[in-house]
Amino acid sequence: MPQVGWPELFELRARVARERTALVADDLAWSFGDLQRWSGRLANVLRAAGAVPGSVVACAMARSVRAVLAPLAVAKAGAVYLPLDPALPAARRALILAEARPAVLLTDVAEVAAVADVVLAPEDWRAELARWPEHAVTATRPGDPAYVLYTSGSTGRPKGVVVGHRSLVNLYFELAARLFPAGGEPQRVAHGLPLVFDAAWDPLLWLVGGHEVHLVPEDVRTDPERYVRFVRRRRLSVLEGVPAQLTALVDAGLLEGDSRPRTLLMGGEAVWPSLWARLRATPGLAAVNLYGPTECTVFTTFCRVSAQDRPAIGRPIANTSVRVVDAHRRPVPVGEPGELVVGGASLALGYLGDAALTAERFGAAPPRWYRTGDRCRCEPDGTLRWLGRLDDQVKIRGHRVEPAEAEHALLALPGVRQALVRVEGTAGRRHLAAYVVLGSGAAQGCRGARSPDVTVDGLRDRLRETLPGYLVPATVVEADALPVGRTGKVDRTAVRIEPRRLTPAESLVAAAFRSQLRISAVAADSDFFALGGHSLSAAALAARLRARGVPCSLRDVLRCRTVGRLAELVPDSPEGGR
């Protein structure tokens, strides 16, 4: 493996393919030479603003060509890329910035511009950059950090995972060896992933490999029918997404006809058997399951769907080792379940500013092995199968979620005396459920008068002010008290609170929820998105409700979200006052 960083690999590609189309974004085609030139100028702007080798540059970017130039420019400056979702609540964004302490904050979003060091106004960014010369690539070493990505934390605070150039370069060569077509024929690659996902590096590495990446617009990637039309119109051959998103796209006809992708990549959450069987039965489709925690650089095992008749995570990628161990870190016999640990080139460098947690999860001394917390089994042929989590961590819409973080946020709200958040639901449809005791008592367990202004719906609205949507519980249920066990601690498994009976209008909406999400239990305050729905399936839910006579649009689903609120749209219902 070459001893270089990923920006040097891009520069090599740009020199030999300068006029070839690299990126199609904002309805414009950008050549490798274009990206090389504009990212070099942006790198100079960042250096002038204070970005030095090894410093962090936070980037809160809208979905445009600038969002691709940003990581290239940061890398050329020798700095560390920190992607920030512009839609994050301001309080959470401030929390991340306070911990990461970036040297520069770059944005092209008006809501973030007030606190940014460098602002690229969407209408004149090229005029701004044209005044600067190109910046030569700052040499990087394999051990240098390349990016920081924040994930949910069990302490109530997000934690930053630092990934090095060695890991990214290793991933690039793994993609080149396993997925790039023989002969080097350029592919058309859909980039429909959220920009703050670690998997968003995959299409960038396809670009480094000389392939043509098409950035899917935000309003297209959230609508399954429009997304499928986009893929067909652009004749895209490679597409990646989380299983829930891919299910919605397949339902919308992604795999029908001749103009369909030939390569389908999935990861971020467990694949349920029905999707696996559907992909396996599609002739001429190369479907691949990619597994890996953020701490292992996007993906660390690889499994072709055609090779297994049921879901599996496969085998480790190059320069990576895996073991299945018991509670004492001893290898378990083949076929026995245990915790999966990972070693080798794919490992992250650790957690930003947290040496103790880094030592706990990666080991205090070489050789380093990352404890994934995933329960797996290795079969006699070497195939790994994922069996679940050893803790209560869960993947929701591709995001890794620690229920304790939502619990901390609830306990911080006025009027909440006790709170418990746990994972509920079935495989493939897991969600967070919260149980709260309301009142004005200052001490835990002290019964106090409840403020009339505190409601479970109000609590969810308050949580959305501080937490990203995937961390907001699907249901918030009020309880008189939380049950305790013999030790006096809250018994998390004993909480069984039945939701109130649904009204006829709510029952109609709940039936649509159950059909669309393929789940069995829905309450009046159940949140469609927190139950596993996403923008792609929201359009399908709106269509289901319209078929039942409810005047419901995609905007209504995005705005109302819960069974109770959508029930207000049902004609001739008491909830709607019609």
| Helix/strand/coil for 141 | coil
Across the strands, what pairs with 424?
431
What is the pTM assigned to this prediction?
Answer: 0.78
148-168 b/e with 16+ CB inside 10 Å = b? bbbbbbeebebbbbbbbbbbb
Say which residue the tokens 């960083």 belong to: 5
CB neighbours of 26 closer than 8 A, spacing ≥ 6?
64, 65, 215
Q: Which tokens belong to 238? A: 């490679």
Q: How far apart are CA 251 and CA 263, in angstroms?
A: 17
Residues of the chain with pLDDT under 50: 441-450, 487-488, 577-578
Q: Which domains does the chain have, with CATH numbers?
A: 6-378 (3.40.50.12780), 399-478 (3.30.300.30), 504-567 (1.10.1200.10)
Taking the CB of residue 489, how many other CB atoms lie within 10 A of it?
9
Backbone dihedral angles phi then psi of residue 464, each to the nearest 5 degrees = -65, -15
Residue count of the chain, please give it: 578
pLDDT, residue 158, reads 86
Give strand pairing partners of 213: 23, 189
Question: 531 is written with which tokens?
Answer: 């139950």
